[in-house]
Amino acid sequence: MAKPKKYIFVTGGVLSSIGKGIAAASIGNLLENRGIKVTMVKMDPYLNVDPGTMSPFQHGEVFVLDDGAETDLDLGHYSRFVQGAKFTRKNSFTTGRIYDAVIRRERAGGYLGKTVQVIPHITDEIKRHIREAAADADLAIVEVGGTVGDIESLPFLEAIRQMRAEEGSEKGAENVLYVHLTLVPYIAAAGELKTKPTQHSVKELREIGIQPDILICRSDRKVPKDVKDKIGLFCNLPGDQVFSAIDVQSIYEVPLFFREEGLDEKVAEKLGIWSGRPDLSKWQAMVERIRNPKGEVTIGIIGKYTDWRDSYKSLSEALSHGGVANQSRVNMVYVDSEEIERGENLDLLRSVDGILVPGGFGERGIEGKIKAIEYARSERVPFFGICLGMQLAVIEYARNVAGIRGANSAEFKPDGNENVVDLMESQKGVTDVGGTMRLGAYPCQIVTKHGGKPTRAFQAYGKELITERHRHRFEVSNAFRERVESKGLVVSGKYINPQSGLELVEMVEIQDHPWFLGCQFHPEFLSKPLEPHPLFSAFVAAAKTASQSAQRPLPGITKSKRSTGDGVGEGSAGVSGVRSRAAERA
């Protein structure tokens, strides 16, 4: 008889952004380290088929998988916490995708003679998606997006309610476990933790037929035993099934805290999983390096979504992983590129040890990013350009070094005759916006040497063939490639089409610079705390070397205080218009 599949459904109550994704990923981390084959699933209640067409201000970053799926940023958390799972588009779906599948089936005659309804047809489709995603794992942890009480998430909640009866139990142990994350706020005026929000959230769940098996209480302090017992009494479960989830310095501490609370032991007991204790030695060592760095660097991130940090979630995590590899804290200063464009307060660029220009879309703030790239190149500040950041580095180099004064991108100047960045051939004629970019994993051939010296790309990776994830429509134009290469820009990585032999530029760099590199792909999607991405490790190492040199304030300009942000090392500032170090020396 086949071993029964186990499911953990994670819901959230009281408010959004309470940390369901981190909690679910942390449970996955602990169970994986107990030797269980775990997968993770995210169900989002919005009507978009996927988040690919949504603004970063609406939903944070879009996390791209190897198969090209554009998914919720929680898939990024899952990838960083659950090391052994391979995620595909099956692991992330939305209400829009569910309804699309049901309506397509109805139009094809799949429900002939029947009235198509939310129950059973939508809920059956949700359950089919869940089971399909869980097919190759022993246990699936399924996060239900949104907040309990939202109208749009009701079909998901009804589907997971049905699954407990359908999946059954074995020898007194359930095959389905409900974990509910809720808020227990501390009211300073009363001097106590308040449990009423949790009670009401659980009441909402119980009204639709779901009794939580485990409660995780988010708070700024540990929830004492007497409060846990009180919550258990009013929420119809034992006090030893109520756990704390306190605010921590780094999200990577959450699995260790849950382990200290005994959460994984209770989950294993309730599901009837017999396994050894989790081996968290490597994870603990990594967390120690975050807690006790031996140095620090400051990286300026030049973007246009700087007011919403979730837009750059994987990027900031990958930088912190690079810090782990170099035993350094990475302080991140987010700089609005439009402020640089306006020429404001540019001395902030002098205060950072490295400059990073991430991906993005649209013309807003572009010239500010190009100005920051010019500064990094001319003043020999370590620079890393990702996707659009690489394209803009090529534009800057073409304008200011190769003499192509009108250099631009077809994205911003469609009728330009000096577009060194152009629409990909495969994108011409594409009219739909959603899911039509060059998406997912593609190979990249690394050039090992240039001018007798190893390239930065090869030094970072140590191998000639890599695979990285992409999300773009535009590429460096081969029509201008020879001109910029003849002036010193090195193409150190390329994709070679196996059918046509056509080459696409994947990586560029400048050799006579401390560290200047751009890549068309998104390396942040493959970085993990236990396996920092080699490009981020190399970039942070270069910034660390640069930080050894003193940076003097510019004459006549008030020096900005370097921001170290909170425990994660994030800060923000505005910037623009700098006088160069060379000019200062003159």
* Averaged pLDDT score across all residues of the chain: 89
Please tell me which residue in 121, 321, 472, 522 is annotated as part of the active site: 522
Fold agreement between 6-284 and 294-585:
yes
Q: What is the mean pLDDT of residues 262-266?
A: 96
Q: Does residue 259 have a pLDDT over 80?
A: yes
Concerning whether 470 is annotated as a catalytic residue, the answer is no
294-585 CATH: 3.40.50.880
Q: What is the mean pLDDT of residues 435-456?
A: 93
Domain 6-284, CATH number (from 1.10.3720.10, 3.40.50.300, 3.30.470.20, 3.30.560.10): 3.40.50.300
Q: What is the DSSP string of 172-203?
A: TEESEEEEEEEE--EETTTTEE--HHHHHHHH
Q: Does residue 561 have a pLDDT over 60?
A: no
Amino acid 435: pLDDT: 72
How far apart are alpha carbons 265 and 431 in whole angstroms? 52
Q: Does residue 514 have a pLDDT over 90?
A: yes
All structural domains of the chain with their residue ranges: 6-284, 294-585
pLDDT: is 52 or 464 the higher one?
464
Q: Which of the four pLDDT bands, split at 50, 70 and 90, describes residue 6? A: very high
The helices-and-strands tally (H runs, E runs) of the chain is: 20, 28
Amino acid 576: pLDDT: 34
How far apart are alpha carbons 397 and 404 in whole angstroms? 9
Helix (H) / strand (E) containing 231: helix 225-235
What residues have CB less than 8 Å from 126, skipping those under 6 apart?
43, 98, 155, 156, 159
Tokens of 226: 């007497």
Amino acid 522: pLDDT: 97
pLDDT digits 0-9 by tens, 36-47:
999 999 999 999
How far apart are alpha carbons 366 and 353 in whole angstroms? 22
Please tell me which residue in 32, 61, 70, 524 is annotated as part of the active site: 524
Give the rounded percent of residues in the chain with a pLDDT score beyond 90: 76
Please tell me which residue in 387, 472, 475, 519 is annotated as part of the active site: 387
Q: What is the mean pLDDT of residues 441-469?
A: 96
Concerning whether 519 is annotated as a catalytic residue, the answer is no
Amino acid 308: pLDDT: 67
Concerning whether 207 is annotated as a catalytic residue, the answer is no
